[in-house]
A and B are shown apart, each in its own frame.
Chain A
Amino acid sequence: MRRARWVLIAFILSAGVAHADAENPAAHGKATYGLAGCGLGSLVFGDQKGAIQILAATSNTTFGTQTFGITTGTSNCVDTAAGSAGAKIFIEGNREALAKDAARGSGETITTLTAMAGCKDAKAVGTALQKHFTQLFPQQTPAEQVSQNVLKELRSDSSLECRKIG
C-alpha cells in the first residue's frame, strides 16, 4: 500500500516533467548540431527546461552531444587557433556577447577577436564593428551569417590590418 502510493507520487512527478520535455530534442539525444554552426544555444543548452534545468545546474550534468569529447569529438567547434577558422568558431560561439561588445565598441570579445584575426588595434576594430553594427548583426540572423559578415568587414577594411584571416 505504502509502496503503491510512492510509485503513484513518482509517476505524477515524472509525468509532469516528461511532458515539459517532450519537445526537447537535446534531452532525447537528438543533437541539433549543424543548424546553428557553433552557436551557444544548440551546443551548450539544448533546450532543457524546468526541473531538469535546475538539477543540471545543481549536479553538474550535461545533456551532452559528443561534440566536445576529448578523443571522440568533432573538431568543428573547438579549435581556437588564430586564423579564419578559429575566428569563425569564436564569433559563432560568442554571437550574443560579441553583438553587445560591438554595439558598445569595446570589450573582451573584441579584444580576443582582434588577436585571433591578427588585426592591429582592438580600438579600431571596436569602432568599425560599432559603426556598421546594423549591417553586421541584423536581427534574427543565424550565427553563421554573422560570422561571415564580421569576417568580411575585417577583411575589407584595410585600415584594420587584419593579417591572419587572409
Chain B
Amino acid sequence: MPGVRAALIALATCSTAPALAAEVARADPAYLPELLASAKEKSLAEARAWLRLGHWRKRLLGGWESEADGPGLFLSPQGKRDPAAELEATLTGFFAAGDGAPSGDSKLADPSLEHPQCRFPARFAFLAGALQIDPARLPPRSCPRFEAFWRRVSARSATLIFSSYYLNSPASAFGHTFLRLGKDEVASSGERLDLIDQAVDFAAIANTPNAVLYAFEGLFGFFRGEFSARPYFYKVREYADYESRDLWEYDLSLDQRQLGMLVAHLWELGQTWFDYYYVTENCSYQILGALEAADPKLDLLSHVGVATLPSDSVKALFANPGLVRGVRYRPSARTQLAARTAGLSGGDLDAVQQLAEGDDSAGLGAMPTDERVRVVDAALDLVDVRHGRDIVTGSDPRADRLRQHLLETRSAIGVPSPPLNIPPPAAGGPERGHGSLRLGLGGGASREEGALFLAEGRMALHDLADPPAGFSPRTQLEFFKVRLSAADRPGAVRLEEASLVEVTSLNPIDRFEQRVSWKMRVGATRVADAGCDRCVAGFLAVGGGPGMVSADGTFSAALTADAELLGAPDLHGLSGSPVRPGIGPGLLLRLLAGDRGALVGTGTWRWLPSASPETTYELGLEARLHLGPVSLAARGRAAPRAHDLGLLLLMYRD
C-alpha cells in the first residue's frame, strides 16, 4: 500500500502524487552517486531541516552532536556526530536491496531490521523534495508497519496539551506537555470526538522503585526517555480523572504537509531514546524538538531557557505568531465536582456528603427528579475524586461497592443528566503566567545594620505573592532563591538566604475534603537571633496543618505545626552542639487584590530545646504591586536580632 508514502512525498515536494506503478521496480544503482553529489552541492547536510530531523545541535567546542542517545536514529556509525555522514548513509540506505519489512506482521519485530526507507519516512520525504528524487529511479517501498501507524493516527490536526498542577503535589506545578494528533472526527450531534485521537508522549522510563535513586537518576539523565503513542482517552482518564489535573489544549495551525512530516518524524523518534533530564531535556523539550523537525520554520527551543519548564514551552508556541489557532480547556474531576456542587443548597450538599459516605438516609425519595439527579451526580463525582484511583486499580472493595451502589441509584432515576458546561478559569492557562526567573533590586534599612542595598534572584517558579495569572492560587514552588544584602561599610555584602527548594501547598478544609496545608523549605539562612553572631546556617523546615482558601481565592490562611533543623559551626544548638532543632506554630495569611496586588503575612515561633536561646520568633509582611512585567515589593521583618524594611523592584523573565 504505497498510498501513504506517495501522499507524504507529494506533500513534501508540493507536487502531485507521482505515479507509483513502480512499486515492484528496482532502484537504479547509478542514481545514488548523482543524488550524493547533488546533496553535497546543495549542502543539504547543513540544512536546517536536515539538522532538525537528526536532532543535531552545535557543540560547545565546534562540530555537531545529536541529542538522540539510542543508536536507532542513525544508519552511520558516526551519525550521532556527523550529519553529513548520516546523510550519505541515509541516501545509500534508501537504495538497499531486500524486502525491508521483517517477515510476518509481528508488531514487536526489531525496527532496525526494516528497510531504511521505512525507518526514516520523514527523511525520505525531505530528501525526495530537496533533491527532486525521481521515483522511477528510486522507487518508494511499501512500508506496512509505518502505514499501519499512519492509519491509526489519521492525523488531521495537532494539539499541544498542557496538563496543569497536580493537587497536593506542588512539585508538579511544572506540569506536563504532550501532543495530540487529531482525527478531527465529529459526532452527528456536533461534539468533537477527541477521545479517540492519539496522544504522543515523551516520558522517562523509570527502572527503580527506590525514591532516592529515582530522584537522582531523573535529575542527572540516567533514565531513558522514549516517545510513545496511545489513545487520548488514556491520558484524559489518567490526568483529568485520576490525578485531577485540568488540561489545556493548544490547537496548532500545521498544514497537511507539516502534519505528515510530524507523524513520519515521530515514527523515526519512536526507534530511539534520549537520556532524560528532568530539568533540561525533558518532555517539553523533546516535544518542541519534534515540532521543529516537522516544520523547520518554527522557532520553539530558542524561546525556552536552560531549564525547559512545560509552561515555558506553551509560551514558546505563542512566540511564533499564528501557530496557536485555538485554546481549549478540559476540566479535571475536581473542577467538575466544584461545578456540580456550585448551585446546590445546604441541604442538598448534606445529602451529597451522606451519599458519598454510603449513608442512604439522605431523603432522595422526597426530592423532585431534577434535584435528585443533581445530588446523585455530585455524589458520584465526589466518590471518584476521593477514591477514583483505588477503584481503577481495584485496591479498595469498599469503594467499589459504594460507587456501584450510587451508579445503580443514579441509573434507576432514568433521566439523562444535562451537559456540564464549565468555562476556563479566570486565571487563564500557563501562557498568561509571569516569567519564572525573578530578579530583584532595591534598598532598605535595618535597626542593626543601617541602610542596606538589597539584591535577589530566583530561578523558578512562583510564590504566593507573585502575579496570580496562569498559576495555581494555592501553590508556592520555588527553586534556587538567593537574597543578598550590603550595608554601607567595607566587606558587608552578606548572604541572607539561599534556598534550594521552598514549597507551600494551601488546601482548603471544606465539607468534602479535609486535606492539610503544608510547607517545606531546604537551604541556608542567616540566623536572626542570639544563637550565633548572625552566622549562616543550613536549614530544613517542614510544617503542616489546617488551611482555608475563600471561594474566589481572595483570602487564604494556614495554621501549621512546624519542625525545623538548623546547623552551623558557631551555632549554640542542642546541648551545645552545632545542630539546633526547633518546633512551634506557624501562621500564613494572604490577601489578593485581583491580578494587581498581594499581601502576605507570616509568623513563626520556635521552642529550641536545650539550646541558647531557648525560643525564637520571626514575623514577616510583604506587599506586592504588580505593574505588568515588573512588580514592586515592600517587605518588613521582625526577629530577635533583625528588624528591617526593604523596597524592591522585581523583574520576571522566562
B-binding residues in A (CB < 8 A)? 10, 13-14, 17-18, 21, 24, 27-29, 39-41, 43-45, 47, 50-52, 54-64, 66-75, 77-81, 86, 89-90, 93-94, 96-97, 99-100, 102-109, 111-112, 114-116, 120-123, 126-127, 130-131, 133-134, 137, 139-140
Contacts and interface: CB of A to CB of B under 8 A. Distances in A.
Contacts of B229: 68, 70, 73, 78
B518 interface: no
Nearest to A139: B404
B193 A140 contact: no
Report the 6 A-B pairs with minimum CB-CB distance, sorted nearest first. A70-B270, A133-B411, A105-B416, A21-B209, A80-B196, A68-B228
A62 B241 contact: no
A41 B392 contact: yes
Nearest to B407: A103
A29 B207 CA distance: 8
Nearest to B216: A10
Nearest to A26: B209
B377 interface: yes
A77 B204 contact: no
Interface of A is mostly: helix
Interface string B378-410: 001000100011011111010011001011101
Contact of B211 (A51, A112, A120, A127): A51
Q: Find the residue from B176, B204, B393, B408 having the highest chain A CB count within 10 A.
A: B393
Given A44-B238, A59-B218, A112 B226 contact: no
Interface string B411-446: 100111111000000000000000000000000000
A80 B197 CA distance: 8
B433 to A, nearest CB: 18
A106 B218 CA distance: 42
Contacts of A94: 195, 233, 237
B202 to A, nearest CB: 8
B195 A109 contact: yes
Contact of B187 (A61, A77, A122): A122
B267 A61 contact: no
Contacts of B414: 105, 130-131
Contacts of B223: 61
A10 B195 CA distance: 42
A30 B188 CA distance: 42
A57 B237 contact: no
11 contacts: A13-B212, A40-B234, A45-B389, A47-B395, A60-B283, A78-B230, A93-B233, A96-B391, A108-B191, A130-B411, A134-B411
Given A60-B204, A94-B233, A100 B407 contact: yes
Nearest to A89: B231
B416 A130 contact: yes
Given A70-B228, A133-B411, A90 B209 contact: no
Given A40-B392, A72-B270, 17 more contacts: A14-B212, A17-B209, A18-B210, A44-B234, A61-B203, A61-B276, A64-B226, A70-B266, A78-B231, A89-B231, A100-B380, A111-B193, A115-B193, A120-B188, A130-B414, A133-B408, A139-B404
Given A28-B209, A112-B193, A61 B218 contact: yes
Contacts of B169: 54, 57-58
Given A57-B172, A94-B237, A102-B411, A126 B196 contact: no
A90 B233 contact: yes
